[in-house]
Structure 1
Amino acid sequence: MVLSKIVEVVIYAGVVQGFFLALVLTTAKNGKRKSNGILSALLIVLSVSIVHSVFLAGNVDIPYKIKEPFILLIGPLLLLYIRELISPRRFILSDALHLIPFLLFFLIHIPAMIF
């Protein structure tokens, strides 16, 4: 019982750190604004997914499942972030193709999330 509470506190601390780091990266004034923005989005998606999982494990009633569509963003965001670090370039249409699974899943499941 005590160990599970300690683990829960550590998980929440990690989530807060993720949101805080995303905020810091977004407001940073250096030359890597695009890569910082992608990394911020990745950190937010991961933090929201972790919070959602902790709530589900704690049997907290969540009216809709926010984690499922956003899990599909982790791969494309990681790819875009690494690609931006290795060879910075403009965002092109072929980059947007990686977001199609997320968009389809999100659009199909909007009624289930709302109602």
Structure 2
Amino acid sequence: MAISFFLTVFSPFYNCFGYTGEASNSSNPDALAPVFEDGPTQIDGCSGYRRHYIKGKLPNNKYQVACQMSQCYFNSGGDTATLNWIEYIIIGEGELCRSKRGKELLDDYLLCKGYHIVCL
């Protein structure tokens, strides 16, 4: 699958998306579920939180998916600080539609835009 190759090659740049590139023995048919998982996470040993959403539609039935990250850490004075950033990935509509989590993201995006698409 093209997305697996893309994420394996570029996973150091898209660590926010949670893809490790490691094979899994689970029979999870939704390969994008762990990639687009929202919630608490660990980033370089520190507590963090990530949230995914579709930022916009691009030409050729592609979408820009954003991963919004927040990380808590202790600064040099020992105080708690928060670092926020957003990373992006471009993915095709077909890949989103083949994933339960991808469909959820797509449905949320389209609902906000006022229309709906049927994933076959």
Q: Is TM (by shorter chain) over 0.5?
A: no
Larger Rg: 1
TM-score (norm 1): 0.25
Larger fraction in strand = 2
TM-score (norm 2): 0.24
Larger fraction in helix = 1
